[in-house]
Structure 1
Amino acid sequence: MTAPSESPAAGAESTASRRRELASFLRSRRERIPPEQVGLAPGRRRRTPGLRREEVAQLAAVGVTWYTWLEQARDIQVSGQVADAIARALLLDQTERRHLFTLAGTADPHPHLDCPGMSPAIRGMIDQLEPLPAAVFNSRYDIIAYNRTYGRLVCDLDAMPVEDRNVMWLAFTDPRWRERMLDREENTRMMAAKFRTSMAKHLAEPAWKELLKRLQQNSPEFRQAWERHEVLQPGGHVKRYLNPEVGLLAFDFTHLWLGPQDGPRLTTYSPVDEVTRERLERLHRIVLAEQQAVAA
């Protein structure tokens, strides 16, 4: 005798219940994380505990509106790659990660992966690398976390809106960043090619489509680079910046992936010569002195 199948109404209610449970779970995990644990300033006017929705969206490299809908239990699809990014942003352990994927109704693309996320250990590693600039980026070029030296390498990142802390956005649209990033045309062309390579794995994801649309609308130079259809894998070359406080800085850089090679990476910048090293140490002293003056 065949068991009766679930009615359409019952199936719809089951799906809606799962969405509500997912929304509640995400809110609970978000509210337990102090901002400083993921490298964000605590701020003075926080109405809710833990992280804000827009901060989780930034850390996971998804759209703020899309993530808000997710926490409102709206009927939206969650891909495995996006669920993976959210799990990392919320510092989920393996049990929590499995629960997230079950509620999202999608397969875990990395079921046996450890979940380092932006842990205190990684945050501490970035700080300990000073005076060397260091930052964590995802494959969309979002700046997820950075130490004080990187924060002042080109512009004052702390003074920028969270949604603008993306190297692609800055390199193609921010006048100060464009002026101070030397060899800009070569670098931006390579960045667009690497972004196209990475985006092939994320074509349907809202955050990627949102960034692409934003760049196309605001940068003729990006549109021109994008239309070339060039592709590149991440690689190393010398980067040069004209810092407004200490002058020309030239670096080699090294990537340390914190998961799969298309996931977050820790990038450190090493001076290519003694002049850069001395200027970098001077920049670090300037930043420390300013922070001490504010704290006094």
Structure 2
Amino acid sequence: MRTPTSGHTVVVDKADLADFLRSRRERLRPEDVGLASGPRRRTPGLRREEVAVLAHISTEYYVRLEQARAPRPSAEVLAGIAGALLLTDTESDHLHLLAGTAPTRRRLVCRDVRPSVLTMLERLPRTAGFVIAADFEVLAWNELAAALMEDFGSLVPAQRNLARRAFLDPAGPDHLYGVSDATAFRHHAVMQLRATATRYPTDPDVVSLLDDLRTAPDFERLWRRHDVQPAAMLTKTFENPAVGSVTVDCDSLLLEESDQHLVLYTAPAGSPSADALALLHMAGPLAAER
């Protein structure tokens, strides 16, 4: 695909689009999409007419797509073809890119954490670690994270949402575990949520969250700025009721396949904050409530 430097016309490489569709069709078997295999086929994969039926488009139009003779398909047509060919999210994005059309997403935020990540969290006794979904819901955490922040296990999912806590906490906008960068975090959260809303426009939980957040004047003000590039948050200081000030280094690792982030808080060995984390680990989650 080539995009000109001026104007709004997108020039699509129809040959690349045709080759990609053909390659994805030929890898599928009828039983993969719920069709009877029937008699032996002369060529591999699904028939073009089968893809057309599954995608709810005419066979003639699909044939012309694979022959690089069709007009540029709409986002809705591409979404239907992506579903018919069982494309992954990455493959679907590539299909839309080849056609010069923005992806139309209907998937939901992933809230299942991979077992290996859960195991990793438990093996980091000196690190406060937790996993957040694309909409800032805390999905998994270790004991030190619960002791430093709060016992997430005692909360319903909506109460475990860090963005909701940052903007809608009845205790006030700065009552976010006593962190030193509450203002910066709120700005970061708004920018990330704007991207999340683009990726999951029909997820009811995301829609509901944004509806609630936009009742908060501070959120609405930041939302209207349309910022989309959050700054990295490298350190932050918590005011913990059990051990006082704890300054940690922050690392956020993208779990790309699930669109989640693994957040890790550590302190330099031998520092007062490292000693505080060690005390919190021994005290357990209830330390955050004292």
CA deviation after TM superposition for structure 1 residue 192, in Å: 1.1
Structure 2 partner of 1:276: 273
* Distance 1:232-1:272 versus aligned 2 partners, 3 A rule: farther
In the TM superposition, what are the counterparts of 1:216-231 in structure 2 within 5 Å? 216-217=214-215, 219-231=216-228
Amino acid at match of 1:173: L
In the TM superposition, what are the counterparts of 1:76-115 in structure 2 within 5 Å? 107-110=87-90
Structure 2 partner of 1:133: 128
* Distance 1:234-1:145 versus aligned 2 partners, 3 A rule: farther
Structure 2 partner of 1:143: 138
Amino acid at match of 2:164: W
Q: In structure 2, what is the Cα distance between the partners aligned to 1:281 and 1:137? A: 23
Structure 1 partner of 2:212: 214
* Distance 1:146-1:140 versus aligned 2 partners, 3 A rule: same
CA deviation after TM superposition for structure 1 residue 102, in Å: 6.9
What is the CA deviation profile of residues 128-167 of structure 1, one whole-angstrom value per residue up to 9, with x for unaligned ones?
1123100111221111101011112222322222221111
Structure 2 partner of 1:181: 179
Q: In structure 2, what is the Cα distance between the partners aligned to 1:186 and 1:288? A: 26
Q: In structure 2, what is the Cα distance between the partners aligned to 1:243 and 1:267? A: 18
Amino acid at match of 2:122: D
Structure 2 partner of 1:236: 233
CA deviation after TM superposition for structure 1 residue 122, in Å: 1.6
CA deviation after TM superposition for structure 1 residue 125, in Å: 0.6
What is the CA deviation profile of residues 100-142 of structure 1, one whole-angstrom value per residue up to 9, with x for unaligned ones?
x979x97431469xx9x52332211101112310011122111
Amino acid at match of 1:135: F
Q: In structure 1, what is the Cα distance between the partners aligned to 2:196 and 2:124? A: 28
CA deviation after TM superposition for structure 1 residue 179, in Å: 6.0
Amino acid at match of 1:232: Q
CA deviation after TM superposition for structure 1 residue 280, in Å: 0.7
Amino acid at match of 2:238: Y
The question of 1:119 aligning with 2:119 is answered no
* Distance 1:288-1:150 versus aligned 2 partners, 3 A rule: closer
Structure 1 partner of 2:261: 265
Q: In structure 2, what is the Cα distance between the partners aligned to 1:179 and 1:146? A: 15
Amino acid at match of 2:228: V
What is the CA deviation profile of residues 24-68 of structure 1, one whole-angstrom value per residue up to 9, with x for unaligned ones?
xxxxxxxxxxxxxxxxxxxxxxxxxxxxxxxxxxxxxxxxxxxxx
Q: In structure 1, what is the Cα distance between the partners aligned to 2:232 and 2:197? A: 17
| Equivalent residues, number | 188
What is the CA deviation profile of residues 64-84 of structure 1, one whole-angstrom value per residue up to 9, with x for unaligned ones?
xxxxxxxxxxxxxxxx9xxxx
CA deviation after TM superposition for structure 1 residue 237, in Å: 2.1
User: Normalising by the residue count of structure 2, what TM-score does the alignment of the two structures yield?
Assistant: 0.56
Amino acid at match of 2:151: D
Q: In structure 1, what is the Cα distance between the partners aligned to 2:212 and 2:268? A: 34
Cα RMSD (Å): 3.3
Ranges in structure 2 where 5+ consecutive residues have no aligned partner: 1-33, 35-78, 93-109
User: Normalising by the residue count of structure 1, what TM-score does the alignment of the two structures yield?
Assistant: 0.55
Q: In structure 2, what is the Cα distance between the partners aligned to 1:211 and 1:289? A: 28
